[in-house]
């Protein structure tokens, strides 16, 4: 085992070293600038977090009292309700598109773990809301859309939210609202932003194809 392990470790080390040299040779100035920025960020003093734009959960606005005919989905929404209620008692922040370096620069490295936790809670919140809306959409589409539109208002980047709203808007001849979804993508050049844009493009294309087919006599 030791004979086999040593070459593997050496190979891994060589690959990492090669990639690092490759990146450095491509743009050593950017690497140096990044490292210098990290050093400055790590030296930033802890800042007060009390006035940040924390997400407030509007529990009274969610249709938690609805009953579904589908019992499996009913048990799921009961579970989602518990998660959302629990999250309403903790701090949440939408930090989509903000790097760790930027967070350390703004609030100090001592706050990074706390801010990361707030961001993770927010991510779980918007994902749970999307799952809740998706679960009730077949029986309560209008209520589901209200939840999804609320998610947009707090900056969600869950592609399923845009997917469901995109279909709903075009199915109900709300093209302006569909097109507005493109402008609401939080970070358009991010991976999630590109995924959302591609989904919306596909929905638009499929709808155009369907409309063209229906118009053929």
47-73 pLDDT, tens per residue?
999 999 999 999 999 999 999 999 999
**pLDDT tier at 119 (50, 70, 90 boundaries)?**
very high
* Residue-level pLDDT at 116: 96
- Residue 79 sits at φ, ψ, to 5 deg, of -70, -45
Query: Is residue 191 over pLDDT 80?
Result: yes
* Residue-level pLDDT at 215: 60
Nearest to 34 by CA among 120, 122, 105: 105
* Residue-level pLDDT at 217: 56
C-alpha neighbours within 13 Å on the C-beta side of residue 34? 9
* Residue-level pLDDT at 214: 63
Tokens of 130: 């999307």
* Residue-level pLDDT at 66: 94
* Residue-level pLDDT at 60: 95
**pLDDT tier at 1 (50, 70, 90 boundaries)?**
very low
* Residue-level pLDDT at 193: 95
Work out the percent of the chain whose per-residue pLDDT is above 90.
74
Query: Is residue 161 over pLDDT 50?
Result: yes
- CA dist., res. 192 & res. 186, Å (int): 9
Average pLDDT over the chain, rounded to whole?
87
The region of weakest confidence among 31-40, 180-189, 198-207 is 31-40
Mean pLDDT of 138-155: 97
With b for 16 or more beta-carbon neighbours within 10 A and e for fewer, the 98-113 pattern comes to eeebebbbebbbebbe
Query: Is residue 28 over pLDDT 70?
Result: no
**pLDDT tier at 30 (50, 70, 90 boundaries)?**
confident
- CA dist., res. 161 & res. 186, Å (int): 13
**Which of the pair, 73 or 22, is modelled with greater confidence?**
73
């Amino acid at each position: 085992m030791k004979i086999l392990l040593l070459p593997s470790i050496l190979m891994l080390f060589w690959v990492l070293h090669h990639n690092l040299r490759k990146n450095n040779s491509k743009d050593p100035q950017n690497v140096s600038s990044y490292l210098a920025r990290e050093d400055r960020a790590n030296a930033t003093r802890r800042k007060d977090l009390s006035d940040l734009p924390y997400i407030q959960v509007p529990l009274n606005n969610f249709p938690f009292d609805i009953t579904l005919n589908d019992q499996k989905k009913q048990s799921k929404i009961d579970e989602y309700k518990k998660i959302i209620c629990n999250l309403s008692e903790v701090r949440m922040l939408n930090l989509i598109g903000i790097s760790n370096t930027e967070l350390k620069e703004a609030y100090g490295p001592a706050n990074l773990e706390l801010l990361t936790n707030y961001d993770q809670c927010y991510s779980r919140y918007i994902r749970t809301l999307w799952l809740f809306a998706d679960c009730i959409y077949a029986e309560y589409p209008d209520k589901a859309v209200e939840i999804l539109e609320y998610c947009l208002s707090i900056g969600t980047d869950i592609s399923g939210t845009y997917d469901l709203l995109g279909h709903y808007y075009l199915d109900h001849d709300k093209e302006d609202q569909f097109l507005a979804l493109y402008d609401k993508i939080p970070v358009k050049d991010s991976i999630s932003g590109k995924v959302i844009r591609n989904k919306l493009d596909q929905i638009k294309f499929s709808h155009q194809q369907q409309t063209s087919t229906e118009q053929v006599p």
